[in-house]
A and B are shown apart, each in its own frame.
Chain A
């Protein structure tokens, strides 16, 4: 009897510990959201939200200041899309190699390397980009300067690799053997089985890995700020090729470039940029949850 109440006490005590930790997690998120919103508020006393989001001019300190972040939103999307176009095929094929083709020894080694890739601080990626990738881009494409949207996209594609590879690998490895054997028994080759059966079986997991990679690219700051140029020019949407090979500014780099010396409405506008980014990331995460739910069904 005594032992039982003692056990119950431990049980309920542990429940309390777990519950308070969860509360701390939730509080940290909500207090950050609250803080960003409060900081961003002063902007909307002076600028309406439509001209903030759709405005194309950014002159925060002019006599009649202009706070338009449309160009930064477009640059965020352009770099993310290009990073995904480059990074996802490489990541997915690496995952197929690890999960299906490589020997256990090699696949463990590759996974280890991928883990290290994920652990490199983003500022190192940026430094690598500015010292190595940017000069190469400038030389190959005969540009006057190598800090471009394309350079940023390449760096971002490196950075989404770990997410895509490790999550896609687990999704592929989770495909039941019976499915694979069924496919092989019907006369499909190994490659046919991988592409037609396994990938389609694991598609929600793979898709989730892509979306998480997109989230990584969208939110990345320190690596991008060093290689993208941060110019305020509105991207030329009729000539995307030229746009990718010129500089630009994303939502994240707008914040980090100007935060240090900002004050008043200017600072509020930078926090408001953070709010917009937060909305993008939240929508993306809702989509990821839906995709995962579908996978469970």
Chain B
């Protein structure tokens, strides 16, 4: 028994030594990327691919789009992530690079006869001006509004595209903390409306057309489908230390990863 323990200990020690040796001689590129929590999962997948290909290591952090842009300005991050269009004052110091487009889908119960909604009506529903499906030509039933929690990237994207603030949202809206929960609640409640990321759309629920346009990769790409937002990378002007990562994202392998996560990859202009 003691013998086995001894051998195991020796093995462990030599392993530790090897591990230490590996660390000191390493000179791999490490990039810190931070910001939007909506882009974070995608960036983590890209980071894994980047590492497997041997380009270097990506350290991905959250914090929100504004943390991403300010981090890219002050040098905390090599690259900031922003799941919105960059603001004018940010564009003074930053270059914005759109890497993907995130489509958001409004979903209703399969029994619901409403097939189409405008962004104005969506806003009216979420701000409580419209509370009955009959206002949109549907059944005379109260609308059960379902939203996501504060801090969710999808909520942030939905509010910014539809055009309302958290304070304006109807207070009795049900708040669910995951796409799965929104989908399942909508599929269980015939008067419910919710919104989820296009990549997570399932056939348990029906997706509403927005302004007569049904959601599809093509419609999001040519911007005829309005309910979408860009995933931007923010890089300080004149800084090219992170170019390897940007090149990787726009490579065929990068585009494939983006598509696999349910987003639509963009092409460099």
Residues of A within 8 A of B (CB): 59-62, 130-131, 134-135, 138, 144-147, 225-226, 229-234, 246-247, 249, 256-258, 260-263, 266
Contacts and interface: CB of A to CB of B under 8 A. Distances in A.
Contacts of A145: 144, 146, 174, 185, 189, 191-192
Main secondary structure of the interface of A (DSSP, over half): loop
B184 interface: yes
A50 to B, nearest CB: 21
Given A59-B167, A146-B188, A234-B171, A260 B64 contact: no
Contact of A226 (B37, B67, B175, B181): B181
A260 B172 CA distance: 22
Given A230-B176, A231-B172, A261-B37, A135 B151 contact: no
Interface string B164-204: 01110001111111000100110011011000000000000
B127 to A, nearest CB: 14
B142 interface: yes
A261 B153 contact: yes
Nearest to A231: B172
A78 to B, nearest CB: 15
Contacts of A256: 177
Nearest to B64: A263
B141 interface: yes
Contacts of A226: 181
B192 to A, nearest CB: 6
Contacts of A130: 184-185, 188
B141 A144 contact: yes
B191 A266 contact: no
A135 B184 CA distance: 12
23 contacts: A59-B167, A60-B150, A61-B166, A130-B185, A134-B189, A135-B189, A144-B141, A144-B143, A144-B144, A144-B189, A145-B192, A146-B189, A226-B181, A231-B171, A231-B172, A234-B171, A257-B175, A257-B177, A260-B151, A261-B152, A261-B153, A263-B64, A266-B150
A187 to B, nearest CB: 57
B191 A232 contact: no
A62 to B, nearest CB: 6
Nearest to B142: A144
B149 A261 contact: yes
Give the 7 A-B CB pairs with smallest separation, nearest first.
Answer: A261-B151, A145-B144, A233-B171, A144-B142, A229-B174, A230-B175, A144-B191
For B37, B177, B191, B192, which residue has the most chain A Cβ atoms within 10 angstroms?
Answer: B177
Interface of B: 37, 62-64, 67, 141-144, 146, 149-153, 165-167, 171-177, 181, 184-185, 188-189, 191-192
Contacts of B146: 145
A230 B153 CA distance: 18
A266 B185 CA distance: 26
Contact of A246 (B153, B165, B172, B176): B172
B174 A230 contact: yes
Nearest to A132: B188
Contact of A247 (B63, B167, B174): B174
Given A231-B174, A263-B67, 5 more contacts: A59-B166, A130-B184, A146-B188, A247-B172, A257-B149
Contacts of B37: 261
A214 B181 CA distance: 27
For A134, A145, A229, A246, which residue has the most chain B Cβ atoms within 10 angstroms?
Answer: A145
Nearest to A146: B189
Contact of B188 (A135, A249, A258): A135
Nearest to A225: B177
Contacts of B174: 145, 147, 229-231, 247
B132 to A, nearest CB: 9
B214 to A, nearest CB: 26
A256 B181 CA distance: 13
Contacts of B153: 261
A231 B189 contact: no
A222 B228 CA distance: 32
A286 B60 CA distance: 45
A233 B172 contact: yes
A231 B143 CA distance: 14
A131 B142 contact: no
Contacts of A232: 171, 175
A266 B151 contact: yes
Contacts of B181: 226
Contact of A261 (B62, B176, B191): B62
A287 to B, nearest CB: 32
